[in-house]
Amino acid sequence: GKERNWPCSLGAPAVYGKLVMFIFDGLDECRLPLDFQNNEILQDVTQSASVDVLLTNLIRGKLLPSALIWITSRPAAANQIPPECVDQVTEVRGFNDLQKQEYFRKRIRDQSMAEKILSHMKSSRSLYIMCHIPVFCWISATVLERMLGEAKSGEIPKTLTQMFTHFLIFQTNEPGCDQIRESVLALGKLAFQQLMKDFTLYLGKVYSFVHLSVQEHLAALYAFVSFVNNNASEQQTLENLGFPKKTTMSDFLKSAVKMALQSQNGHLDLFLRFLLGLSLESNQILLQGLFTQTQSHNNEEIIKYIMEKFKTKQSSEKMINLFHCLNELNENTLVQEVQKFLSRSQNHCLHGLTVSPAQWSALVFVILSSEDKLEEFELQKYESSEECLLKLLMSACNLTEKSCGAMATVLSSASSCIRELDMSSNNLQNSGVKQLCGGLGSPNCKLEILRLGDCNLTEKSCAVFASVLVLDHLNLRELRLSKNKLQDSGIKLLSAALKSPKCKLETLRLFDCSIAENGCVSLLSALKSNPSHLRELDLGWNKPGEAGVKLLSNFLEDSNCKLEILK
């Protein structure tokens, strides 16, 4: 409903002198604007204000500054909160592989059945990967226990669309019944409208989805049924939310791919996988009670369209989702090509082979989705005229300092064309960074972006970087060292390099690096000495103190300051 001004009674005598905690669950479901920049400052707990103003002032510490605030959120929505307002972040991860197995064995009493289900889930990597979500384990167990226990159960689900479709059938029992059909489509319409507006849906007294993926499946189901059934009012709903006017099935699906790729936070990724899966006639037959007619079409055009997207500039997350989309369409040719190639060589080398952009993307997908532990993957030798490997992402891959020497060799290779390297969340340590910088300092190195967040680095690594950042031939424009204990002593060493006019860094991220007032003083001195290059500086989750904040604030107002973003 409409936002109201709520009388604030937090200043009651019972609150004074006591520690108060506020728990806000699901920031991603909050529809308030949370305008931290322009909302009025509120410090009087007896003053009435809108919920939005109350919330922003509580989070900023203006209202009840001694209160504790605990907020749960998806990552994209959490970015609404200014970093300086956050003291600690905890990432809640799902099941690991051992916990997945433990869940099924405890959930299914019949252990032979549990082993059958586990074996089936492992045979489909896309399904097994999704099992890190506990609710998906429950959905899968519900579906597979029933299907494997029935004599005539039909084809066992191998894709996400098949799994959720069978789950919906089991929940509704009779999808062909007019009343159930109307309820499912009405719920799907609600899910679709809210998803396209980037809102998760929770209507406490009316509808509640056990997980966002259930909403995404229903949203895709509604969109597809509306297109196939060709109902005028439903077609208008699709058009109002970005889909083209009634056209061919291929154009309809292409528009969905385009919208998903344009989404900044990936909120349409699963929706797209479900929508493409539903385009298969075999899946439509499962839900034939919801369709006035099924519609078969040639998948070749949409598959070709997706393949073309591998040649465009997309994030690794988007690329990987496109492979999951191909899997929903039962198209695995590209992945099978790469798997066949990898099986030919014991060490997985790329000796002299010309590799296309789509194959590079497939290679990354295969490595990330494989349950096999890859011990050696040699990238030094590949066709030098093929400049597809512009990015190399190895975040959270259990790498150690030993990997850094091999990567330094790749970076210093005459044929190296890597522009972006992400080795975040690996235990590289200072010794690993020292080896890596050996390659970074090579005249052959073309690296422009380097991410080494959360790599167990200290001030010693800063000394190594300081010596490299002043090299004339260095192409590095962005350096991320967040979540490393660099401290003021390390920042002082980095700042010495930043002072040099030879340093070409434009973005420096030092989020949560144990930086205090003295570190801010060092950085400020460097910025004043060499103001021409650095445009973005991230100092979130550090403790600069009032003096450090004041120094940085005053510098921002200086006419010589060229910083565009300071966090």
Strand partners, 71: 24
Residue-wise pLDDT for 181-229, tens only, equals 788 888 888 888 888 875 444 444 455 677 888 999 999 999 998 888 7
Q: What is the pLDDT of residue 343?
A: 63
Strand partners, 537: 508, 566
Tokens for 224, please give them. 């597809």
Q: What is the pLDDT of residue 388?
A: 43
Residue-wise pLDDT for 304-316, tens only, equals 999 888 877 776 6
* Region of poorest pLDDT, from 13-22, 37-46, 71-80: 13-22
pLDDT higher for 275 or 548?
275
- What is the identity of the amino acid at 324? H
Q: How far apart are CA 27 and CA 420, in angstroms?
A: 32
Q: Which residue has the tokens 């959905």?
A: 139
Contact 515, 542 (CB under 8 A): yes
Give the residue among 530, 522, 525, 536 at the shortest CA–CA distance from 480.
536
Contact 320, 326 (CB under 8 A): no
Give the residue among 264, 171, 153, 276 at the shortest CA–CA distance from 214.
171
Residue range 390-566 forms a domain whose CATH class is alpha beta
Tokens for 420, please give them. 């972006």
Cα torsion for 268, 270, 276, 282, to the nearest 10°? -150
Q: How far apart are CA 554 and CA 567, in angstroms?
A: 15
Q: What is the pLDDT of residue 239?
A: 80
Compute the mean pLDDT over every residue in the chain, rounded to the nearest whole number.
79
DSSP structural state of residue 564: S
In angstroms, what CA-CA distances link 444 with 205, 413, 467?
63, 6, 17
Q: What is the mean pLDDT of residues 495-505?
A: 87
Residue-wise pLDDT for 391-443, tens only, equals 455 555 566 777 787 778 777 766 566 788 888 888 888 988 988 988 888 88
Q: How far apart are CA 212 and CA 217, in angstroms?
A: 9
* 14, pLDDT greater than 80: no
Q: What is the pLDDT of residue 396?
A: 53
Q: What is the pLDDT of residue 332?
A: 82
Residue-wise pLDDT for 357-367, tens only, equals 666 667 666 66
Tokens for 318, please give them. 């988007």
Residue-wise pLDDT for 506-516, tens only, equals 999 998 899 99
- Contacts of 260 by beta carbon, 8 Å cutoff, 6+ apart: 266, 268, 269, 271, 272, 318, 321
Above pLDDT 70, what percent of the chain?
Answer: 76
Q: What is the mean pLDDT of residues 166-195?
A: 80
Q: What is the pLDDT of residue 426?
A: 83
- Contacts of 405 by beta carbon, 8 Å cutoff, 6+ apart: 435
Find the DSSP H helices in 264-370.
269-278, 281-286, 300-309, 316-328, 333-344, 357-369
Q: Which residue has the tokens 């034939």?
A: 288
Find the DSSP H helices in 197-280.
212-229, 232-240, 249-262, 269-278
Q: What is the mean pLDDT of residues 270-292?
A: 85
Q: Is the dihedral of CA 63, 66, 67, 73 positive or negative?
A: positive
Q: What is the pLDDT of residue 16?
A: 54
Residue 472, number of CB atoms within 10 A of its CB: 7
DSSP structural state of residue 207: E
Q: What is the pLDDT of residue 151?
A: 63
Contact 412, 435 (CB under 8 A): no
Rg over alpha carbons for the chain, rounded to the nearest Å, is 27
Tokens for 524, please give them. 């400020």
SS3 441: coil
135: confidence class by pLDDT, cuts 50, 70, 90:
very high
pLDDT higher for 32 or 289?
32
Q: Where are the domains of the chain?
A: 5-85, 159-309, 390-566
Residue-wise pLDDT for 534-544, tens only, equals 888 888 888 88
- Contacts of 50 by beta carbon, 8 Å cutoff, 6+ apart: 3, 4, 5, 6
pLDDT higher for 272 or 381?
272
